[in-house]
């Protein structure tokens, strides 16, 4: 261990300190109401905080498929809602358009997705404590908050070992979520047929 004056604490030798901006890019969603799909045009579901919680439903809005690539998401993308509801998740709901108030988080360089997800998830507690200390509600997280964050960064060897263990777990989780999504579609299609007697279970 060695003392780091900047953080007023000891950290393992060879490790360093930085902030959340050092390990990832934070790409904000867009105001999807400005990109309504035209009649007959292929469209993407709009992912808002509600969809992060409940998935895509019949109440979900749609956006033109011509939105910028940076504002599209797919299975395996890391999302961080930065307004009112502070939370992170690995998206597994299929291709979609990302609404404003949610960041698509893209790992930088040597930092694996699983590591960025864990760091960001844990740091949310600090954002909440900051608000409590000031006796205010955390309305939203700004890029300044992200740059002012302080995290410890392990060396490349530790990151590699972590990724070897965590990456297969994360991949399996995405596969299972995709299977759940497909089984849910089949259930929703078959259940009305079973209820009105159009099909039977032998």
H runs (alpha helix) in the chain: 20-23, 49-54, 113-133, 143-148, 156-195
DSSP string, 107-127: E-TT--HHHHHHHHHHHHHHH
The first and second tokens of residue 20, run together, are 């959340």
Question: What's the average model confidence in pLDDT over 104-127?
Answer: 92
**Are the C-beta atoms of 163 and 115 separated by less than 8 Å?**
yes
Reduced to 3 states, what is the DSSP secondary structure of residue 36?
A: coil
pLDDT tens profile 2-25: 888 877 889 898 898 899 999 999
pLDDT at 137 over 60: no
Residue 202 placed within a domain:
no
Quote the pLDDT of residue 48.
93
Spatial neighbors of 142 by CB under 8 A, at least 6 apart, are 82
Residue at 37 is within a domain: yes
Q: Encode pLDDT of 177-196 as tens digits.
A: 999 988 988 898 888 888 88
Contact 104, 29 (CB under 8 A): yes
Residue 63: C-alpha distances to residues 36, 42, 133 (Å): 5, 9, 39
Does residue 58 belong to any structural domain of this protein? yes
CATH of the domain at 85: 3.90.220.20
Q: Is 14 within the bounds of a domain? A: yes
pTM, 2 dp:
0.83
> Which structural domain range is residue 92 located in?
2-195
Q: Which two tokens stand for residue 79?
A: 């999302």
Domain count, the chain: 1
Residue 90 has pLDDT above 90, yes or no: yes
Helix, strand, or coil here: 20?
A: helix
Residue 103 lies in a domain: yes
């Amino acid at each position: 261990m060695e003392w780091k004056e900047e953080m007023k604490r000891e950290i393992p030798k060879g490790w360093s300190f930085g902030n959340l901006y050092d390990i990832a890019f934070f790409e904000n969603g867009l105001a999807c109401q400005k990109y309504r799909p035209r009649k007959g045009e292929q469209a993407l579901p709009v992912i808002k905080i509600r969809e992060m919680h409940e998935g895509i439903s019949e109440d979900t809005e749609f956006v033109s498929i011509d939105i910028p690539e940076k504002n599209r998401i797919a299975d395996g993308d890391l999302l961080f809602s930065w307004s009112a509801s502070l939370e992170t998740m690995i998206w597994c709901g299929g291709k979609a358009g990302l609404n404003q108030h949610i960041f698509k988080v893209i790992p930088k360089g040597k930092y694996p997705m699983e590591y960025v997800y864990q760091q960001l998830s844990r740091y949310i507690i600090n954002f909440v404590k900051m608000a409590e200390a000031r006796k205010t509600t955390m309305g939203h997280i700004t890029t300044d908050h992200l740059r002012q964050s302080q995290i410890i960064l392990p060396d490349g060897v530790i990151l590699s070992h972590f990724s070897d263990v965590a990456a297969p777990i994360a991949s399996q989780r995405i596969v299972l979520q995709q299977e759940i999504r497909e089984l849910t579609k089949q259930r929703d299609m078959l259940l009305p047929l079973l209820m009105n007697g159009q099909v039977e279970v032998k």
